[in-house]
Structure 1
């Protein structure tokens, strides 16, 4: 992801409870998810070890090695740390720069929404949003709208689940 978009994307994804990648796309994150998931679990374990009080009891050399590995893994996996299955859709800022991510999503049929500039091919994107993918203001605006839509959809989904569970409990009582 572009430097100017990283903070915006991370903040909006956190706000909507979505997963994100802002530093470097890990090849196979979608197409080889079962193996990548093991690395994500290792990152979570490392988080726990570093937060644990026993970490201070380790040798300094071991602490440095673990912190270095944690820093490296954090860049790759911090936004997908809690991702337990493949996403239902993907939002991309500048699909030209994120061609690997777009190709992986297309290969396994994940719909793609993208903020795309005039230098990009809208045919490879399921839902292109024409706009300036370099300017922070346009990135903030579009990402905010997408984030709001995700939050509304999650809220509506939760309401539907509650309605279904109430209907099932009414049927079992009758």
Structure 2
């Protein structure tokens, strides 16, 4: 895999607060190699290592995107949800930003059945069929459609398991991470000082609570994916 330059600036990361970790009492000892200092009871992440792993992750997603691979971005906590959706839409990735439904990947056949029902309901709604049903039946189907849109809206075009999963906040998305590990799906995880870096294929040590930090990491990854997709489109058109 060729290494590329991704314009990852330590100054930019400091401005976004990427280096701020959790309190020193709330940490995972396995994060020790990624921590550079303690300040006022807070661990400070080593941004040099963050830059190194972020660059490695960008190389990976660029290479995967240039070969037409599919990505899933997962981040369901309030501070991450909007950034996850906008980043995924920009890079034409699938995403989950409300709630990870247990078995979403390990029980793919059930998820696929739900997606088929979701697509069928969308088509019926677009054709105006729901408005021609009795009010009670229409209300039930509209509630189902709203539920599907909330929890499956970001993966409505998925036709199979993703090739790479990007996870924002390992602790919050532990179920999703374990499912990826079970299935052998490579993961890129944004990990704060209370996380376990050994669970991710590529851990990116960074503040997973600050919106600016989350957005910066996602923007770098998404930029690499977009460049990879452009390369893939160019190769296919030749």
Unaligned runs of 5+ in 1: 164-174
Equivalence for 2:148: 73
- Greater alpha carbon shift after TM alignment, 100-109 vs 25-34: 25-34
Instruction: Determine if the alignment matches structure 1 residue 43 to structure 2 residue 99.
Output: no
Tell me, in whole angstroms, the C-alpha distance in 2 between the residues paired with 1:109 and 1:158: 27
Tell me, in whole angstroms, the C-alpha distance in 2 between the residues paired with 1:85 and 1:160: 24
Question: Partner of 1:114: helix, strand, or coil?
Answer: strand
Instruction: Determine if the alignment matches structure 1 residue 155 to structure 2 residue 230.
Output: yes
TM-score normalised by structure 2 residue count: 0.66
Instruction: Determine if the alignment matches structure 1 residue 25 to structure 2 residue 117.
Output: no
TM-score normalised by structure 1 residue count: 0.89
Unaligned runs of 5+ in 2: 1-75
Matching residue within 123, 128, 132 for 2:203: 128
Equivalence for 1:116: 191
Residues 4-19 of structure 1 mapped to structure 2, 5 A cutoff: 4-19=79-94
Question: Partner of 1:90: helix, strand, or coil?
Answer: strand
Equivalence for 2:5: none
Question: Partner of 2:188: helix, strand, or coil?
Answer: strand
| Larger RCO: 1 or 2 (CA < 8 Å, sep 6+) | 2
How well do the aligned residues superpose, as a CA RMSD in angstroms?
1.1
Hey, which of these two has a bigger chunk of strand by percent? 2
Q: How many residues align?
A: 163
Equivalence for 2:220: 145
Runs ≥4 residues deviating over 4 A: none
